[in-house]
């Protein structure tokens, strides 16, 4: 399953949770349980919402520091220090055009050190996978804040991101990421908005500095609607999900469920929502489709011996599916090796780094392609007193088998090796699946 996020209004933590719960309402109870595991005083709810254009849901959180129905962005009686997560998507009836986001949630709401939040998540009775996802999202936020302020990560203290509702949003996101077992994620171009946000440190531009760092590499657009459209929490979730390939487009797939998550701020002439599109892989009635990336480059100044070792190391890299080379003529009639690597899209950046590390090339090309692949399975049979691995492939004309050549390596003579492989292939085709 792949989920593509379409940020019509923007991205915030509550909008992400609402969009996924609108598509998968059966996980609402599990989300609530994970949030209560962090703090039993916090409760969450999913509310149907229709803005007059679209129907979807809102995700709300209530707790000891949160007035029911309120989220950051509402004007309160006294001023809060510099805030790090404005949740600007929430409607503020007392919000002025100067984008004043100063507020407070109560006397107990102030700086909350990252170390304190990390300890709370570590000690909570969360599923280990959910805890890991939540810590990962918060870790991106802490790293970005540390870079913005020029301090150590452990010295970071959150303001709005440290509030109960923001912690609940991140735990909800972590629970859903784990529960849905999504293979991959992608996001459309992000509306960055514009304007200024007033903080204890003075006016800051939109998007906030930490958000800007978190969105490095993501596609953006200017739709003419001002305000903070992607919050730091929303940006951290996107970085966590799409960090290896932020520019990935929506892949091929069969559209299944959809969900729409609303924020509470009203945008002029625009539904303030995040849409989630759930894409399933097609049925295996023919060749399966998959997304791939191809890396290509030439080498003319590396010895054949060292290049062979480098390419073997490339083949062992996670995410690189195959590497081939061919002789070509380059400038001045010089012989060169043309190298081509087939890569999983999510591993593209790591594969590019490996190509530069293992070869002498100083430049390469890459592009994304779609591939077709036949169903196959691996079987192991006993032949001539040794195990032989055989690959079974479902072809349009019937099943075929191919024995692993290396498993016949210690047989002397071509005829003996060929006979071993043929007999292993015949046995593998006749072998019931449960005995393989």
pLDDT tens track for 337-353 = 999 999 998 889 999 99
299 in the same domain as 200: no
Q: What is the CATH number of the domain that holds 333?
A: 3.30.70.1380
Looking up tokens 């531009």 gives 205
**Top-confidence range, 38-47, 93-102, 248-257, 355-364:** 355-364
231 in the same domain as 158: yes
39 in the same domain as 138: yes
Strands 190-191 and 220-221 come out as: parallel
| Boundary (domain end) residue, out of 373, 395, 415 | 373
112 in the same domain as 9: yes
57 versus 227: which is more confidently predicted?
57
193 in the same domain as 138: yes
| Boundary (domain end) residue, out of 280, 301, 321 | 280
Res. 88: pLDDT tops 50: no
113 in the same domain as 88: yes
At 201 the pLDDT is 59
The torsion angle over the Cα atoms of residues 139, 140, 146 and 147, rounded to 10 degrees, is: 150
389 in the same domain as 365: no
409 in the same domain as 349: no
304 in the same domain as 241: no
Task: Kindly list the distances between the CA atom of residue 169 and the CA atoms of 49, 85, 233, 247, 250, in Å, as whole numbers in the listed order.
Answer: 18, 12, 8, 25, 25
Among the ranges given (62-76, 318-332, 410-424), the one the predictor scored with the smallest mean pLDDT: 62-76
Do the beta carbons of residue 72 and residue 86 sit within 8 Å?
Answer: yes
Do the beta carbons of residue 12 and residue 263 sit within 8 Å?
Answer: yes
145 versus 106: which is more confidently predicted?
145
Q: What average pLDDT does the segment 138-155 reach?
A: 85
Among the ranges given (62-76, 252-266, 281-295), the one the predictor scored with the smallest mean pLDDT: 62-76
Do the beta carbons of residue 247 and residue 27 sit within 8 Å?
Answer: no
Res. 108: pLDDT tops 80: no
Question: Per the structure, how many domains does the chain have?
Answer: 3
Percent of the chain with pLDDT over 70: 84
| Boundary (domain end) residue, out of 259, 280, 301 | 280
Q: pLDDT tens-digit profile of 184-212? A: 899 999 998 888 876 655 677 888 888 89
- Residue 42: HSE in the Cβ half-sphere, 13 Å Cα cutoff: 23
206 in the same domain as 301: no
Q: What average pLDDT does the segment 236-264 reach?
A: 86
Do the beta carbons of residue 121 and residue 38 sit within 8 Å?
Answer: yes
Nearest to 204, CA basis, from 164, 246, 159: 159
Q: What is the pTM of this model?
A: 0.60
116 versus 353: which is more confidently predicted?
353
Q: What average pLDDT does the segment 310-331 reach?
A: 93
276 in the same domain as 153: yes
Return d(Cα 59, Cα 212) in angstroms, integer: 25
405 in the same domain as 332: no
**What is the residue range of 179's domain?**
2-280
Over the chain, what is the mean pLDDT?
82
């Amino acid at each position: 399953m792949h989920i593509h996020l379409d940020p019509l209004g923007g991205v915030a933590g509550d909008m992400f949770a609402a969009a996924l719960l609108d598509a998968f309402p059966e996980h609402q109870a599990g989300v609530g349980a994970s949030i209560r595991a962090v703090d039993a005083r916090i409760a969450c709810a999913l509310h149907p919402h229709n803005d007059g254009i679209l129907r979807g849901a809102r995700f709300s959180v209530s707790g000891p520091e949160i007035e029911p129905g309120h989220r950051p962005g509402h004007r309160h009686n006294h001023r809060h220090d510099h805030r790090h997560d404005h949740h600007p998507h929430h409607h503020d009836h007392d919000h002025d055009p100067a984008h004043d986001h100063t507020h407070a949630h109560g006397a107990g709401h102030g700086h909350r050190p990252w170390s304190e939040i990390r300890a709370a998540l570590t000690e909570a009775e969360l599923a280990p996978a959910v805890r890991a996802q939540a810590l990962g999202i918060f870790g991106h936020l802490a790293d970005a804040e540390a870079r913005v302020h020029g301090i150590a990560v452990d010295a970071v203290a959150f303001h709005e991101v440290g509030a109960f509702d923001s912690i609940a949003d991140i735990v909800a996101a972590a629970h859903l990421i784990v529960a849905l077992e999504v293979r991959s994620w992608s996001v459309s171009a992000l509306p960055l908005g514009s304007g200024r946000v007033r903080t204890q440190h003075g006016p800051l531009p939109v998007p906030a500095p930490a958000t800007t760092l978190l969105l490095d590499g993501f596609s953006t657009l200017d739709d003419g609607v001002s305000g903070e459209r992607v919050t730091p929490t929303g940006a951290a979730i996107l970085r966590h999900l799409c960090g290896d390939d932020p520019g990935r487009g929506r892949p091929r797939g069969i559209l299944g469920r959809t969900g729409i998550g609303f924020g509470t701020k009203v945008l002029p002439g625009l539904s303030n929502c995040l849409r989630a599109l759930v894409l399933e892989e097609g049925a295996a009635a023919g060749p399966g489709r998959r997304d791939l990336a191809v890396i290509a480059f030439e080498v003319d100044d590396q010895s054949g011996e060292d290049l062979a070792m480098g390419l073997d190391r490339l083949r062992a890299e996670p995410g690189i599916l195959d590497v081939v080379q061919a002789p070509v003529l380059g400038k001045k009639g010089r012989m060169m090796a043309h190298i081509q690597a087939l890569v999983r899209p999510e591993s593209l950046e790591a594969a590019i780094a490996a190509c530069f590390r293992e070869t002498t090339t100083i430049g390469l090309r890459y592009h994304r392609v779609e591939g077709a692949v036949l169903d196959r399975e691996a079987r192991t049979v006993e032949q001539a007193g040794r195990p032989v691995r055989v690959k079974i492939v479902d072809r349009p004309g019937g099943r075929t088998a191919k024995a692993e050549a290396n498993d016949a390596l210690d047989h002397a003579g071509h005829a003996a090796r060929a006979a071993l492989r043929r007999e292993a292939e015949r046995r593998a085709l006749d072998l019931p699946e449960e005995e393989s």
